Amino acid sequence: MNAIAMHAAYLLAGASVALPLAGAALTAGLRKWLSRTVADLLGITLAALALGVDTLLLYSALQGGFVAWFGNWFPRGSMVVGIGFVVEPIGAGMAVLAALLTLLALIFSWKEVGSGANYFQPLMLVFLAAMSGFVLTSDIFNLFVFFELMSTAAFALCGLKTAEPAPLQGAFNFAVTNTIAAFLVLSGVGILYAMTGALNMAQIGLALGTRHDPLVLFACTLLTCGFLVKGAIVPFHLWLPDAHAVAPTPVCVLFSGLMVELGLFAVMRLQSVVFGETFISHPSALRNILASFAIATVLLGSVMCYAEHHLKRLLAFSTISHAGLMLLAFSMGGATAVAAMLTYLLAHAFIKSSLFFHVGHDAAPLPLNQRKDSVPARARLLVDSGVVVPRRRRTCCGSAVDDVYRRSGSLAPIRTSRLPRRLLAISLRRRDDRCGRLPRRHACVLWLGRRTDHGPGSRCRRAA
């Protein structure tokens, strides 16, 4: 790579963080004079530009990759004196994913999600800049800085609706938990700096070598636990359902689609680069510990997902369970396990984002001490996915989902066919329904042995 190409590559690496930050500062400074439409257009344009920059970085990484040393502070021998971004396929790919999800979230929020006096767009751009820097930096202290910047933007986005108590309560729980995690990470960084005198992750790994005394293990524990909080791994998962229940839908897309996965990405990077040789004499020790956390996360997330009624909290526990699966894949060790984790991460990011986009505004924010049945949104999700195919005639479950669409204000075309045998269907009934006296918006799960039509005056009966 010649000097001009190298200089251009350095500028692209810096632009992946500087462009969203500059755009956030511009949007925040002009927010009083910008209309909602202009603010949305500006945010979408800047996110699209960041996506283009990150795509070029990914292309460069696939051609061989490089390390961008800012200010021309190149290493002197084995001593790293500057700050650098490592542009390699995994980190650049994560940056592209962050920019893509942010762009889709901003497009989804067009004139639909409350902008909080036009604070929403700048906060989303700050969040994007923090995620991009988090996956590209080679400096462990900057890893903490981007961790804190990402958390600060996430707190503000979670509690964007300051006039309501629920978002503030969810944001407070989120902030307390992740501030403790930041304290753990900073303590671990301080211990490593005191031991090695370095902040570059590769240099720290070389300085530690095979050293595995109690101080090294303590620093490893602090850093791992701090990032497992961000990864919502049991028992550090309690903040995620509360944050999802009250955050706007586009913010939930970034929380579940990428922010949780970034915590696991940091654990993977630290264990590979910094502590790669620390456990070389006991290779299964750390794997067994991580696998235990992962199995507990998968089981608890699955059970709570099954028991949950609020749709966003249900998806949050689903994210917790899938995060456990990703950690379990990494705990197996080896290049194949890392590849499996990254593949699962990519699939989960798109699928979970799609689910949140599909939920849209059906699952409204709730007070965290109040449970609400979100069956209409769940039934609509089942219909659109093809799991439930209702009839147009009025049966015990035939036109119930039509009522769901009418109540949501968006009557979508529904396919008409007979209910298959033994289909698990959801029936929504009112209190004065002929089929029974059930609470309003109650869900009745029926196993249909055969198709049963109910004429006028007939009562609901279970088919034999």
Domain spans of the chain?
Answer: 3-359, 387-447
Nearest to 318 by CA among 307, 331, 329, 332: 307
Model pTM above 0.95: no
| Number of neighbouring beta carbons within 10 Å of residue 108 | 17
Q: What is the pLDDT of residues 42-76, one digit of tens each?
A: 999 999 999 999 999 999 888 888 888 887 787 77
Per-residue model confidence (pLDDT) at position 29 = 87
Q: Mean pLDDT over residues 315-333, rounded? A: 92
* pLDDT tens readout for residues 263-301: 999 999 998 899 888 887 777 888 899 999 999 999 999
Which of 232, 233, 326, 222 is closest to 274 using CA atoms? 222
Distance CA 305, CA 303 (A): 5
Q: What is the pLDDT of residues 339-369, one digit of tens each?
A: 999 999 999 999 999 998 887 654 444 444 4
CA distance 131 to 383: 35
The dihedrals phi and psi of 428, each to the nearest 5 degrees, come to -105, 125
C-alpha 232/C-alpha 210 separation (Å) is 30
- Which residues lie closer than 8 Å to 242 by C-beta, 6 or more apart? 169, 170, 173, 174, 368
Residues 248, 164: Cα–Cα separation, whole Å: 13
What are the φ/ψ torsions at residue 248 (nearest 5 degrees)?
A: -60, 155
* Contacting residues for 419 by C-beta, under 8 A, at least 6 apart: 389, 390, 391, 395, 397, 398, 425, 448, 451
Q: Which of the four pLDDT bands, split at 50, 70 and 90, describes residue 38?
A: confident
For the chain, the straight-line distance linking the first and the last C-alpha, in angstroms and rounded, comes to 75
Q: How far apart are CA 192 and CA 224, in angstroms?
A: 13
Q: How far apart are CA 331 and CA 340, in angstroms?
A: 11
